[in-house]
Each structure stands twice: as structure tokens, then as C-alpha cells.
Structure 1
Amino acid sequence: MDTFRTAVEAGNFGAVEELLAENVVFTSPVAFKPYEGRALTAAIVRGVGRVFEDFRYVREITGPDGRDQALVFRATVNGLEINGCDFLHLDENGLIDDFQVMVRPLSAANALAEAMGAQFDRITAEATAAQAAATAQGGTE
């Protein structure tokens, strides 16, 4: 999914949000329960953008039908190198309906959990504001 990769690498999180299905499910590498919905997933992705430094994708793997993508990345979080993979599934409209992230090593995953925990009030506020705006405009979010 070149559009997703290009948007993430450019820090264009508005474009990333446009690629998310309304009912997207985001599975975090550092939280037990998946998060649901476009507004919350987009806010989480923006939060990750604030936490990661030197983010770059290093490999892309696409399933035979093109609806499954794996994007391997490297970044730094709080001075620790983190390696991970974004697993994406596209719905019948080409929008991301499943977004799962895995990271390693454990020390960097712990640093990511701490850094994202510090972001979570802002993430929640952004998602709530986006949902309210969508509702005011007649959206279904």
C-alpha cells in the first residue's frame, strides 16, 4: 500500500486517516484490548508520530490478492532502537479495516508503552473531538 507508506513516512496523518475504514480495529503492541474506530486509530497513529524518531519502513510484503500488507519498520523511542511491523488488511473498498502492530525488543516496547501512556490523554481528547465533529457533520463515527 504505497499511499499508506508514503503518508506515514511524510508524517501526513490526515492522509493516513483517509485510508482508514470507519470500523477499523487497531491492535497495539503494548495494550491488551484492541481499539476500534477511525477517530481513535487516527489519534493513536498521530501519537506514535510524536513518539517515534527517525521512523522508516525498510521492507514491504504484500499478499497475493493485495489486501494484506506487512510493512517492516525501524525507529527510535526514548533513545532505544525499535523494530516492528505494521500488518494491514484492506476491506472491499481498499480501506484499512484491520491494523495490527508488533514491535521488538522488549526494552524498546516498554519504552514505547511508557511514551504512549504519556500521550493517551491527548489521544483521547483528539479522538473525542474528531468524533464530535463527524457527528455534527452527519457522519456515523
Structure 2
Amino acid sequence: MHPFRAAVEAKQWDALPQLLAEDVVFRSPIAHKPYHGRDTVGAILGAVSNVFEDLTYAKEIGGEGDVDHALVFNAKVGGLDIQGCDFLHTREDGLIDEFTVMLRPLKAVTLFAEKMSVQFAAAMEQMAQAHAAAEAAK
């Protein structure tokens, strides 16, 4: 089992950033441009944890030692069923350096996008406040 899947299934959302490379690239199903960096992607994953309900992985494609994995999942968003796949690429050190998510069906994805915009804005504000506090402490 991929460590990312294990952490999500254990609801260890705070552990996810440690699985990401510092320069990770995240491609979202609802954004046109990729997101970059461990802190930003960690904030996105935290926001996702607040939007998805009953997330379960149905299938994992890729074995131990493979650099590419596909994690097929099912969840709910506002009572709607949503299906998706996390495509992960890992470096030699095992950290995820590329992360792409695909989702379906459109009605659930639209609701997901609406809910994520609120959660993402809050996560980015919290991250900005934490960085400001760290700079002030220097």
C-alpha cells in the first residue's frame, strides 16, 4: 500500500505534507494552472479533507518500488457520490513530486469546486498568517 493511501485511510491529514517533495507539482481537477510547493499542496489536501465525506480507496495501481501509482477512490460531497483518481509520481527518495487528481461526475465536481473555493481561501489565509507570525518572530 502506498504511504499516501495509508495516511489518508488512517485520517492522518497532518502527515501528508511529509510525503511530498519540497518542489511538488499538484494538478487540480478544478484549476487551470498547477500548484507548486509542499506548503501549498499540504494546505490543499487539508482543505480536501474538509470537503470529502466517507473517502475510501477502491483500487491501487502500482506496486512497491514503482514510481507511478494510481489510487482510485470514492467519496461524497454534499450528499453526492464522487469518484476520482490520485495519480502520484515519486522520486528516488520516495517523496511525491507530481500529483494529479481527476474527478467525475460533473454535478459532484461542480459542488466540490464550490466547497473547495471556500476551504482553499481559508487554508491560504491561515498559511499566510502562519508565515507572517514566523517572520515576525525572527
- Identity among equivalent positions (%) equals 53
Identify the residue that residue 125 of structure 1 maps to in structure 2.
Answer: 125
Residue 32 of structure 1 aligns to a residue in which SS?
Answer: coil
Size of the aligned set, in residue pairs, is 138
> Which residues in structure 2 correspond to 1:70-89 (within 5 Å)?
70-89=70-89
> Which residues in structure 2 correspond to 1:40-59 (within 5 Å)?
40-59=40-59
Identify the residue that residue 3 of structure 1 maps to in structure 2.
Answer: 3
Q: Partners of 1:71 and 1:23 in 2: how far apart?
A: 21
Inter-CA distance 131–11: structure 2 relative to 1 (3 Å threshold)? farther
Q: Partners of 2:63 and 2:133 in 1: how far apart?
A: 36
Identify the residue that residue 15 of structure 1 maps to in structure 2.
Answer: 15
What are the Cα deviations for residues 100-130 of structure 1, in whole angstroms up to 9, with x where unaligned? 0000000011011001011122121233356
Identify the residue that residue 139 of structure 1 maps to in structure 2.
Answer: none
What are the Cα deviations for residues 8-62 of structure 1, in whole angstroms up to 9, with x where unaligned? 1122122111100000011110111110000010010010000000100000001
Unpaired stretches in structure 1, ≥5 consecutive residues: 137-141
What are the Cα deviations for residues 58-90 of structure 1, in whole angstroms up to 9, with x where unaligned? 000016960000000000001110000000000
Q: Partners of 1:101 and 1:66 in 2: how far apart?
A: 19
Unpaired stretches in structure 2, ≥5 consecutive residues: none
Q: Partners of 1:61 and 1:121 in 2: how far apart?
A: 32
> What's the TM-score, normalizing by structure 1?
0.88
Identify the residue that residue 90 of structure 1 maps to in structure 2.
Answer: 90
Residue 30 of structure 2 aligns to a residue in which SS?
Answer: coil
Instruction: Output the aligned Cα RMSD.
Output: 2.3
Residue 54 of structure 1 aligns to a residue in which SS?
Answer: strand
> What's the TM-score, normalizing by structure 2?
0.90
Q: Partners of 2:18 and 2:125 in 1: how far apart?
A: 19
Identify the residue that residue 114 of structure 1 maps to in structure 2.
Answer: 114
